[in-house]
C-alpha cells in the first residue's frame, strides 16, 4: 500500500490538487507525504559552462548580477510559499518539503526510488507553454519513474470514492497497474471496471487473468471486452462514465504501447477530469 508518497510542487494549480489528493490518500493508509521543489538550472549555471560555437568561443559570457539576484530571489520566495502550503495542507502527515537545485526530471526520477507513489501535474501551468500537450517533464517522468505516477483530477478529495477504470492488456505494466488499483479500491470498496480491447480470443484470456488476481479481494468488479482501436475505445468509455480514477500501463503490447504517450492519449490525460494512475516499471 502507499505509505511513502512523493508530491512534486511547482506552484501550479495541478500540483496543489496533487497535494490534496495525496493528503486524502495517506489519511486512509497512515502513510507520510514528502514534498519536492526543484530550483531549475538557470542562467547562472549556463554562464559557468565553457563557451561553445553558439556563444562565441572567444567571447566571455557576461550576465547582469542584479538579474541573477532577482531570479534567485524569485525561486527562494516560491520555495517559502510552497513550504507554507505544504505544511498547511499536509499538516502532521508531512515529512517536509525538500528543496533542491537541478534538472526537474532527473531529480524526480531519483526521488522516486524511495517512493511508493509520485504525484505531479500533467503540464507546466505556470510556464506559459501550450497546454494541449503533456509537458516534456511529465512525459519523461511517466517513462522513467520507479514508482507509479498519479496525475490528479479535478476533484482530488473524491478520487478514492470510485468507480475506477483499468485499461488492461496483460502486459507487465498493466499487471502492475492492476495490483495498485485493486489495493486502492479496497480502501473504500470502490467499484472497479477492467476493460480489455481487442479480438475476442485475446480479451477473453486477458480478462480471465485479471479476474484470477482480483477475485480474492471481494470487490465489486466488472470485466468488459471491447473490439476496436484501443485508444479510441478507452477514451470513449472513460468519457461516458463517471470514473474517479483511471489506471493505465505506460508500456503495453504493440497496439497499446503508446497509450500514454500517443497523441490521442495525451489529449485524454489533459481533457478528461478524472485522476490517472500510470505504472511504467
| Cα(125)–Cα(10) distance, integer angstroms | 9
**Cβ pair 194, 188 in contact under 8 A:** no
34 in any annotated domain: yes
The pLDDT assigned to 86 comes to 92
- Give the span between the Cα atoms of 141 and 274, in whole angstroms: 19
88 shares a domain with 177:
no
Which residues are CB-neighbours of 187 under 8 A, at least 6 positions away?
28, 29, 160
pLDDT attached to residue 218: 93
The whole domain housing 116 covers 4-42+72-144
Does residue 87 belong to any structural domain of this protein? yes
158 with 138, same domain? no
The residue among 108, 124, 144 that closes a domain is 144
Same domain, yes or no: 160 and 136: no
Mean pLDDT of the chain: 83
Reduced to 3 states (helix: H, G, I; strand: E, B; else coil), residue 151 is strand
Task: Check residue 217 and report its DSSP letter.
Answer: G
Asked if residues 156 and 273 have their Cβ atoms less than 8 Å apart, the reply is no
Q: Note whether 127 and 263 are within 8 A (CB).
A: no
In a domain, 51, yes or no: no
CA atoms in the 13 A half-sphere facing the CB of 201: 0
pTM equals 0.84
Number of domains in the chain: 2
Question: Is residue 222 domain-shared with residue 195, that is, in the same domain?
Answer: yes
> Cα separation of 258 and 230, whole Å?
10
55: in domain: no
- Whether the per-residue pLDDT at 225 is higher than 60: the answer is yes
Kindly state whether residues 167 and 119 are assigned to the same domain.
no
Q: Give yes or no: residues 163 and 210 share one domain.
A: yes
Question: Does a structural domain hold residue 128?
Answer: yes
Q: The CATH number of the domain where 163 resides is what?
A: 3.40.50.620
pLDDT at 272: 77
**126 and 9 in one domain?**
yes
Is the same domain home to 169 and 133? no
Beta strands in the chain (DSSP E): 4-8, 32-40, 94-102, 117-119, 149-151, 164-167, 192-197, 221-226, 245-249, 275-279
pLDDT value for 266: 65
Cα(159)–Cα(134) distance, rounded to whole angstroms?
Answer: 21
Lowest mean pLDDT among 132-146, 173-187, 194-208: 132-146
Q: Domain boundary at 127, 144, 161, which?
A: 144
pLDDT in tens, 95-111: 889 999 999 999 999 99
Same domain, 244 and 118: no
Dist. CA 108–CA 125, nearest whole Å: 18
Q: And the C-alpha cell for 250?
A: 505506460
Do 35 and 165 share a domain, yes or no?
A: no
Domain-located, residue 47: no
Other beta carbons within 10 Å of 269: 24
By C-alpha distance, which of 83, 94, 73 is closest to 31?
A: 94
- Are residues 140 and 9 part of one domain? yes
Q: Is the pLDDT of residue 66 over 90?
A: no
Amino acid at each position: 500500500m502507499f505509505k511513502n508518497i512523493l508530491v512534486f510542487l511547482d506552484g501550479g494549480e495541478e500540483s496543489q490538487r496533487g497535494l490534496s489528493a495525496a493528503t486524502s490518500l495517506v489519511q486512509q493508509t497512515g502513510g507520510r507525504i514528502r514534498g519536492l521543489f526543484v530550483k531549475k538550472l538557470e542562467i547562472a549555471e549556463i554562464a559557468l559552462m565553457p563557451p561553445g560555437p553558439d556563444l562565441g568561443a572567444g567571447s566571455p559570457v557576461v550576465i547582469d548580477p542584479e538579474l541573477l539576484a532577482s531570479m534567485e530571489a524569485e525561486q527562494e520566495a516560491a520555495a517559502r510559499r510552497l513550504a507554507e502550503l505544504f505544511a498547511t495542507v499536509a499538516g502532521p502527515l508531512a515529512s517536509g518539503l525538500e528543496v533542491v537545485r537541478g534538472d526537474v526530471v532527473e531529480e524526480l526520477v531519483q526521488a522516486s526510488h524511495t517512493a511508493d507513489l509520485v504525484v505531479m501535474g500533467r503540464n507546466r501551468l505556470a510556464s506559459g507553454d501550450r497546454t494541449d500537450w503533456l509537458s516534456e517533464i511529465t512525459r519523461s517522468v511517466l517513462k522513467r519513474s520507479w514508482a507509479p505516477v498519479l496525475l490528479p483530477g479535478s476533484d482530488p478529495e473524491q478520487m478514492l470514492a470510485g468507480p475506477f477504470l483499468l485499461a488492461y492488456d496483460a502486459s507487465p505494466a498493466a499487471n502492475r497497474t492492476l495490483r495498485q488499483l485493486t489495493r486502492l479500491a479496497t480502501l473504500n470498496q470502490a467499484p472497479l471496471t477492467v476493460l480489455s480491447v481487442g479480438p475476442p480470443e485475446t480479451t477473453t484470456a486477458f480478462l480471465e487473468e485479471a479476474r484470477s488476481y482480483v477475485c480474492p479481494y471481494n470487490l465489486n468488479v466488472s470485466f468488459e471486452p471491447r473490439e476496436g482501436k484501443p485508444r479510441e475505445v478507452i477514451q470513449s468509455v472513460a468519457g461516458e462514465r463517471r470514473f474517479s480514477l483511471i489506471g493505465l500501463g505506460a508500456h503495453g503490447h504493440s497496439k497499446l504501447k503508446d497509450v500514454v504517450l500517443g497523441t490521442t492519449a495525451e489529449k485524454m490525460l489533459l481533457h478528461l477530469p478524472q485522476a490517472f494512475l500510470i505504472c511504467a516499471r
